[in-house]
Amino acid sequence: MPRRFNTAGPCVPANHYMIPALERLPEGPGLVDQRAYFVVHAPRQTGKTTALRALARELTAGGQYAALHFTCEAAQAAGDDYAQAQLAILQEIRTRAITALPAALQPPVWPGAPDASLLREALTLWSRVCPRPLVLFFDEIDAVRGESLISVLRQLRAGFPERETGDFPWSVTLCGLRDVRDYKIMSGSNATRLGTASPFNVKLESLRLGDFTPDEVAELYGQHTTDTGQQFAPGAVEHAYELTGGQPWLVNALAREVVEKLAVPAPEPITVDHLDAAKERFILARVTHLDSLAARLAEPRVRRVVGPLLAGDPLTLEPYDDDLVYVRDLGLIAPMAPVRVANPIYREVIARVLSSSIQESVTADPRSFVRSDGGFDFPKVLDEFADWWMENGDFLIKTGFYHEAAPQLILMGYLQRVVNGGGFVEREYAVGSGRIDLHIRWPYTTPDGSRRVQREALEIKTWRPTKADPLRQGLKQLDRYLDRLQLDTGTLAIFDQRPAAPAIDERTAITTTTSPAGRRITLLRG
């Protein structure tokens, strides 16, 4: 069976295109050789399980270690019943060992009845009888909660000194969504962090499995070219990296959509247009990975970070604020400062999900904004939006749960509805910028058969209480955006959110003005 791009479950080298495990976790073998206890963490569906399973296989196949990867998910149902949690983990170890290890390396019969130290006793017994040093990868460790998690970590710490005499696993890796210090200890309604990493203060390193680099995206896509002969057109691989930010699931999903769903034939190269079409298809389909991220947007701690991000407001959080760390560990925002959405596809998903109710309430017919020559009648869109805003704006602002970004989401939702698959709305926003920039692309064919792409640029700003009119700053920012897009004109939308602002029907108007660079700018106030 030919290899394919994988978007479900761990990758298998014979079946899937993949980056080798040692390239993704190059520090792993060295830490194992040092007898290290260490942590691997990363957002979901970044390849943690694939990398650790492959590393375990390679370590065992090398003949020096008995290495086993297993999941702790079965212990989640045990809650604070640490005896049942230990039994669930040990049962999973035995099940995985039967399929992954030679008989001589598999664990013996576990010791007697479960008690507070069963896990330590069982791992001690296995370490003593195993002919090779034991290396264990505890995947999904953060599925274990409450007293059960405390018990597991304490037993691993207690056995740590005994590894020197062969009486405990040589090396242990804890793998999860978050670093060990950020594991939540849940007890009823109370939630606290481990903080200093105690009771697992024996860890040597915390490794964050990163996204693919541009070279790794090229390597992965190059495997498809090698297997099938299908080329990627100039700029296509770079565009895939730009859209995905190297997020492994997105990199694979984008290519899979082109190859399997759009079914671009192998003799035909994969182009930037194919990738854009694929991105739109799986965003609209709300595939599982994107849907699970979207569900997080309703969480108060996510809203606390994403709300200011959407509004362009300063993020008034401490650098180690737990909400910021949490949203970063989910993969929604980039791992490094400045705070920003992780990639353009996530930006699109966030905006569409949060503005979906707006799109449902827009009754305008998208076909009415297509000109006779096939182009997009953007001035008409602005006129009709202004009328719709005067009628519905006050109500919609009060009903949205991202209040600080309500006008931005309302305008974005309206535009997304009227574009309706005929074009693309690309969004850029970042904390502290005070704005959202929109780039609308409308590909069309003229009556004479010419292929063209119409582009429109729009900047959204809000007038906050105690602040000056943002017009002057907005025009300067819009000039810079238009310079980057190489456009001669654009639109600035300013929404007045001051409590003492005039009534919505009094303040809403469309006029023109001139930017500092001398460009003619359409000004929408609402």
Contacts of 86 (CB under 8 A, 6+ apart): 75, 114, 118, 119, 148, 151, 152
**CA atoms of 490 and 474, how far apart (whole Å):** 11
pTM of the model: 0.85
Same domain, yes or no: 275 and 360: no
82-100 helix and 48-61 helix, angle to the nearest 10 degrees: 60
Residue 479 Cα distances to 172, 408, 454, 476, 521, angstroms: 55, 20, 19, 5, 10
Q: Is residue 314 part of a domain?
A: no
Per the domain annotation, does 401 fall within a domain? Answer: yes
Q: Give mean pLDDT, residues 430-448.
A: 87
CATH of the domain at 113: 3.40.50.300
Whether residues 29 and 175 share a domain: the answer is yes
Nearest to 328 by CA among 349, 309, 348: 309
Beta carbons within 8 Å of 363's beta carbon, 6+ residues apart: none
What is the average pLDDT score of the chain? Answer: 90
Q: Do 247 and 202 belong together in one domain?
A: no
| 15-19, 43-47, 76-80, range with the lowest pLDDT | 76-80
> 11 lies in a domain?
no
Would you state the pLDDT for residue 186? Answer: 42
Cα(129)–Cα(104) distance, rounded to whole angstroms?
A: 9
Band of pLDDT at residue 189, cut at 50, 70 and 90: very low
Using the 3D structure, point to which of 208, 232, 253 is the last residue of a domain: 208
Sign of CA dihedral 320, 325, 327, 328: positive
Report the pLDDT value the prediction gives residue 190, as an integer from 0 to 100: 44
Point out the domain boundary residue: 181, 208, 235: 208
- pLDDT digits 0-9 by tens, 262-289: 999 999 999 999 999 999 888 888 777 7
- Average of pLDDT values for 135-140? 97
Contact 69, 96 (CB under 8 A): yes
Q: Please check whether residue 4 lies inside any domain of the structure.
A: no
Quote the longest CA-to-CA distance of the chain. 83
What is the CA angle 345-351-452, rounded to 5?
A: 65
Number of domains in the chain: 3
- In angstroms, the CA 100 to CA 67 distance is 9
Beta-strand ranges (E) seen in 151-271 are 171-176, 184-187, 190-193, 206-208
Q: What is the residue whose two structure tokens read 């990639």? A: 343
Cα–Cα distance for residue pair 61/190, rounded to 1 Å: 45
Question: Is the same domain home to 452 and 471?
Answer: yes
Assigned domain for 279 exists: yes
Task: Measure CA of the first residue to CA of the last residue in the chain; give whole Å.
Answer: 58
* Contact indicator for 393, 409 with CB cutoff of 8 Å: no
What CATH number corresponds to the domain at position 271? 1.10.8
Q: Show the beta-strand stretches assigned E in 347-419.
A: none
Q: Does residue 125 sit in the same domain as residue 225?
A: no
Domain assignment present for 221? yes
Residues 193 and 227 in one domain: no
Amino acid at 444: Y
Same domain, 203 and 261: no
Q: What is the DSSP string of 257-299?
A: IIIIIS---TTSPB-HHHHHHHHHHHHHTT-HHHHHHHHHTTS
State both tokens at 135: 């290396």
Q: Which domain holds residue 265?
A: 214-285
pLDDT of residue 196: 52
Domain co-membership, 396 together with 507:
yes
Q: Which of 13-27, 48-62, 178-192, 241-255 has the lowest mean pLDDT?
A: 178-192
Residue 319: predicted pLDDT? 62
Q: What is the pLDDT of residues 158-187, one digit of tens each?
A: 999 999 999 999 999 999 988 876 665 543
Residue 302 lies in a domain: no
- Measured in residues, the chain has a length of 526
**pLDDT (0 to 100) of residue 222:** 97
CA angle 490, 492, 498 (to 5 degrees): 180
262 and 233, same domain (yes or no): yes
The tally of CA atoms less than 13 A away on the side-chain side of residue 70 is 22
Q: Count CB-CB contacts under 10 A for residue 489.
A: 14
Residues 182 and 248 reside in one and the same domain: no
Q: Which of 208, 237, 252 is the last residue of a domain?
A: 208
Specify whether 124 is located in the same domain as 225. no
Can you point out the beta strands (E) in 287-379? Answer: none
> What does the pLDDT average to over 146-166?
91
Specify the pLDDT at position 187. 36
Is 354 among the domain residues? Answer: yes
Regarding whether 337 and 280 lie in a shared domain, the answer is no
pLDDT at 113 over 80: no
Higher pLDDT, 517 or 403: 517
Q: Which of 107-121, 249-263, 390-404 has the highest mean pLDDT?
A: 249-263
Q: What pLDDT does 194 receive? A: 58
Contact status, residue 97 vs residue 166, Cβ threshold 8 Å: no
- Residue 276 burial (10 A CB sphere; 0-12, 13-18, 19+): middle
Q: CB within 8 A of 239, min separation 6: which ones? A: 272, 275, 276
Residue 437: band (very low, low, confident or very high) from pLDDT cuts 50, 70, 90:
very high
Say how far apart CA 178 and CA 48 lie, in whole Å.
12
pLDDT at 197: 53
